[in-house]
Structure 1
Amino acid sequence: MSKKILYLLGIALTIILGMFLYQNYCCNCCMKPPKLDNSTTVVNNKRTGLVPFTIKGSDFDYHCNDNIKFVKNEKAALVPFSDSVAIGFKNLKTALQSNPNKKIKITGYATSDEKNTTTFQNLALARANDLKKYLISTGFDANSFVLEGEIKDKWEMNSDTLIGPASFNIIENEPASNNQWEVLKAKINANPLVLYFNTNESRENLSTEEQTKIAEIATYLKNVPNAKVSIVGHSDSVGAREANIVLGQSRAEFAKAFLIKKGIDSKQIQTSSQGPDNPIADNTSEEGKSKNRRTVVTIK
């Protein structure tokens, strides 16, 4: 083998050896360490318990991941509710209005370590009642509810807030007998709905008690189709009698409009006005006049 060939082989071996040493011993010392991304978050694969909001019935099923919340030891739910929960209640109201033979059973829950400072048997039942009051304020029939309360050892919580400690189930309502409707009519007429008005006013916001009475009237009329409701408007004696007759009639028409919004057929409603002709108090005092400015709603 010639010297020239040996010389070339030596150069080739030197190059190969140099590349080997560079790749294995020098390359890593020239590379920059990887830069940490501050936006990277650590994901905890352990999923916390989820308590979805649900309303269930034989032909009704609504659910969403949002839910009602109660602060620990408190009977009142945190409001306003999310849009998803509100939609569920709206759909529920429509379902119940189209089927008077069904009711909604609300079961409230509380944990064994919570304090009950209410007049109810337990905090769970108080929470169910709070939800009932809320639904009545949105137009639900006051007679459409069955309430229960259950105490649990623990419940899903976020800090000091219980997530979804209530369930909603649509149940069949036992058909009422004619005697039951007579009892309801007697109750309505024994303690009739009376709306009071300030001078020259013909409308006002309704209290929870007034809304409950209207709901009872609506329930009776829906189940006794031939019945009629009588709405009579009254006024104090200030001003001309003719003007007070008109004012009393406008008050009766306000009550009629409200009952129609509750789903009562306008053909079942009769309105009239007695103006200042039937006072229940002395018109010589401001207190007496305020009692005379009223509308009385009864079942005929």
Structure 2
Amino acid sequence: MSKKALYLIGIVVTIILGTFLYLKFCCNCCMKTPTPDTSKVPTVATENIGLQPFILDGPGINYQTNDNFKFLKNSAALIKPVSDSLLIGIEKLKSLLIANPRQKITITGYSTSDESNSTTFENLGLARANDIKNYFISNGLSASQFDTKGEIIDQWKMNADTLIGPLEYRFPALDTTAVANNEWSELKEKINADPLTLHFSTNKSSDNLNSVEKQKVTDIVKYLQNVKDAAVLITGHSDNVGNRDANIALAQKRAEFSKNYLVKKGIEATRITTDSKGPDEPVGENTTAEGKAKNRRTVITIK
């Protein structure tokens, strides 16, 4: 065979081998990966919007945890036990309410429109709010500091058939005027329930008060300073030894002595009224020395 024929055969073999290798190893690199048709992929619905964290945010408290109370769908019963992080929040709330007995909290419970209500409450949300209130009470919180409401909404955060924290806690602002009025009303009740009583030896008087009596004077002064239309009534009393008219006059002197004492403590004389009952309203037996000593007194109250 001639050299020319061998050369041509070599070229043909090279072309065939090159074509084979190209098709085997390189052609797949040039093929385009088909783009998926996303229009046929089902859309996953977003979970219901609602409060998932447990949040207590009010005057004197700011507590939050990612855990929360849970309820089965169509049920008003809290799923128990609850987590430690919720119990910590409840203890913080308890401390706040003990320190602020006039603070109120409104618990709003939620239910969804597709839930059925088998409770005696107006709606399932209100039933859930009351169940949480009762749970708080069982942990030592005061029932009088909670109000409850219930609302029905379209959707809420869920995990399968469990609603996550369908509750909200609001801390209404205190009515400072009402709080102040209530404070002075309570102080007046305290003063009159256990009034300042000054005792006297026979026809003598003394302004040597003990610590309890001094505190009662302080309370009276404080009340009159803050309740401008208030006045003090001082009633004098005596035992039954001697003439009644003389005892009436003696009891009046004791009332005037007590009045002068209060004036020295900063109470205007025009806001103090005196009266005398003499021996007519004894608190002790006039047949004993001890009983007579109890009857020689003045009683100071708020009118």
Q: What TM-score do the two structures reach when normalised by structure 2?
A: 0.44
Larger radius of gyration: 2
